[in-house]
Each structure stands twice: as C-alpha cells, then as structure tokens.
Amino acid sequence: MIAWIDEACAAGARLAKACEVLELSARTLQRWREGDEVNADQRQQASAQRVPANTLTAPERQQILDLANAPEYAHLPPSQIVPTLLDQGLYIASESSFYRVLREADQVAHRGKAKPATHHRPKPLQAQAPNQLWSWDITYLATTIKGVFFYLYLIMDVFSRKIVGWEGYESESADWAAEVFRKAYRREGVAPEDLVLHADNGSPMKGAIMLATLHKLGVMASFSRPSVSDDNPYSEALFKTLKYHPGFPDKPFDSLEQARQWVAKFVHWYNEIHHHSALRFVTPGQRHRGEDIAILEQRQALYEAAKLQHPERWSGPTRNWAPEDTVYLNPGKPAKKEVDFKQNTA
C-alpha cells in the first residue's frame, strides 16, 4: 500500500487524496513509515476490538432473562424487579442492564395486565365555508385576588377565524359552556348536521350537559389528545393574540364586569379591524361574510395594473391575493398524508 501511494504521488496525485482512496489517513501512513517493520499493518481498526471489563457474561445475561420471565416477576418492570431482588439479598445487575438485556432480546414491553392508554391523533377536519368547523377553549384572566381567576370562554370559526361566541364567568362549567355555545349556534343560524365543534379534553368540554347540547343540536364533537395543545392550534393562537394585544391590561381585572367590557372591545377589534395574516390580510368579519373575495380581487387587479405600468420593477409574478378555499385542522403527518387527505375529501 505504501508503494501504491508513492507511485500515485510520483504521478502527480495529492497524498491526502491517495490515502483517502485506500481509506487511510496521512498520519497512519506516517506511522507506517516510522515503524521498524514497514510491511506490518499497524492500522488501529485492524487490531481486535477490546471487550469492556464490565461486560455481562453470557450466563449472567441468561440469568437476567430467566428472572425477568419467571412467573413472580413476569408482570413487573426492571424498576420493580431490582429492588425486590435487593430485599432478598440478591444483586444481579442494575436496572439499566436489565433494560438493555431485555431490549436486545426484544422483550421491552408493558409487563402488566392493564394496557397503557393510547391516544391517537384527532381525525383531520376541514372547512370550506363559515359555520362548518368551530374551535373553542377556555383561558384564565387574572384578578386582583391572588389565586382567583375569571374564565373566558371563546368560540371561533376556523374557516374565517371570526369569534362567533364568547363570555366571561367566575368558574369553569359545562353548563356555562353549553349556554355560550347555544347562543352562538342560534346567532349564526347554523343548520343541523353541518357543524363540527373541536375542543380539548377539559371537563367543561366533555361534561354531560355540553355533550347533550351538542347531540340535541346535531353537532359533531371533536377532541384533542390529553395535554397536547397542538391539536387545538387555532384557539391557542387566538389566546396568544388576546393576551399580547397592546391594549391588554397590565394590571389584573378588578371585577368580572370590567373583564367582560375589555373582552367585548377586543372581540370587535379582532373581528372587524384586525387584518389577519392567514386570511390575506382581510378581517375575520369580512371573511365570514364573504366580502373578502371582492376585496382580494381588487387588490390583485391593482397589482396587475402596477406591473403593466412598470414591468421593469417586477422580476416575477405579482403577489398572490387568492383566498384559501379550504382550511384544515390537524391534517395528517407527514406531508404525504395531508396530500392524500385533501384528495380523498375533495
């Protein structure tokens, strides 16, 4: 190999490239040249791999498997087996060693009769018009009394992002939630069987009164996985907009009425003044009433006219002002599933 490298370098090749072809480093070649025996292969990987001194022997590994599968331990995890053995004056290996041996034997699984709870991602939902898909949640509003909060119930239309229902109360309750929803449902004139209501897994969301109200009105309920806020992203984003609004009070609310008055002003701002970035910068109210189509067409026409007047200022197409036809809640992952879902539900 040294002769090959010398021959390549003599022909004009670089030393590093010649060594790379033979999967050597220049330092290894140097060590070979300095060695007493030039013909000896002194690469480190050529030597036998060292076996760690603390490696479990084959009998010890088998003992771990036998103990873990014994009738009195088969239902216990290593975190229970090891202390039990210690109480009997017996130490075989650490918990991590137990887990490692079981993993290599493909025996790491739930070892009790009760199966662990599995929570699947919510069914993907879509909306192509207002009042097809709503999302709602409850957030806290701090009061002047430490540890006491007001509770803001907010319902939004996912397609238009409009706040269609809200109310503030002094407690969380399925009764209050049902009342807020009934008012919004009647105000919007929703037809039976047309609406899906998505929420998280809180007790007000899954209370008997709330579920009975949805059933009576012909509304399908959808729920997030426990402790997974990403399954209800629209409501979470709305709460962030609310609490980071420049007008949000620096001090806690003195009374429930004060909190309601501020929320009423925020709802008007959000629905009718706030140009929503996800809606091509129209207001949720305009989107909800269908006014966004004419507004966005006018913007598109103005951009096209500006391009015709000064084409040298445009390196490509004008800005896209086309409205989103379909809005998705919890689309499948990875991206391929989202594409399949859109095709299947088109």
Q: Coil, helix or strand for 223?
A: strand
Q: pLDDT digits over 129-154, tens only?
A: 999 999 999 999 999 999 999 999 99
Q: Which of 153-167, 228-242, 253-267 has the lowest mean pLDDT?
A: 228-242
Q: In whole numbers, what is the pLDDT of the chain averaged over residues?
A: 87
The CATH class that applies to domain 125-266 reads alpha beta
DSSP state, residue 278: G
**pLDDT over 70 at 189, yes or no:** yes
The mean pLDDT of 231-259, rounded to a whole number, is: 94
By the 8 A CB rule, do 166 and 262 touch? no
Nearest to 225 by CA among 233, 214, 217: 233
> Which residues have a Cβ under 8 Å from the Cβ of 254 and sit 6 or more positions away?
143, 144
Nearest to 223 by CA among 202, 196, 198, 194: 198
pLDDT band at 40 (very low <50, low <70, confident <90, very high): low
Q: What is the pLDDT of residue 116?
A: 60
Q: What is the pLDDT of residue 334?
A: 46
Nearest to 188 by CA among 212, 227, 208, 159: 159
pLDDT band at 219 (very low <50, low <70, confident <90, very high): very high
By the 8 A CB rule, do 119 and 130 touch? no
Q: pLDDT digits over 4-14, tens only?
A: 888 888 888 88
In the chain, what are the domain boundaries? 2-42, 58-104, 125-266
DSSP string, 126-185: EESSTTSEEEEEEEEEEBSSTT-EEEEEEEEETTT--EEEEEEESS--HHHHHHHHHHHH
**pLDDT over 70 at 340, yes or no:** no
The mean pLDDT of 236-240, rounded to a whole number, is: 94
Q: Highest mean pLDDT: which of 31-40, 219-228, 306-315? A: 306-315
Q: pLDDT digits over 12-22, tens only?
A: 888 888 888 88
**pLDDT over 80 at 236, yes or no:** yes
Q: What's phi and psi for 163, nearest 5 deg?
A: -75, 110
The mean pLDDT of 214-228, rounded to a whole number, is: 86
Give this prediction's pTM. Answer: 0.65
Higher pLDDT, residue 148 or 230: 148
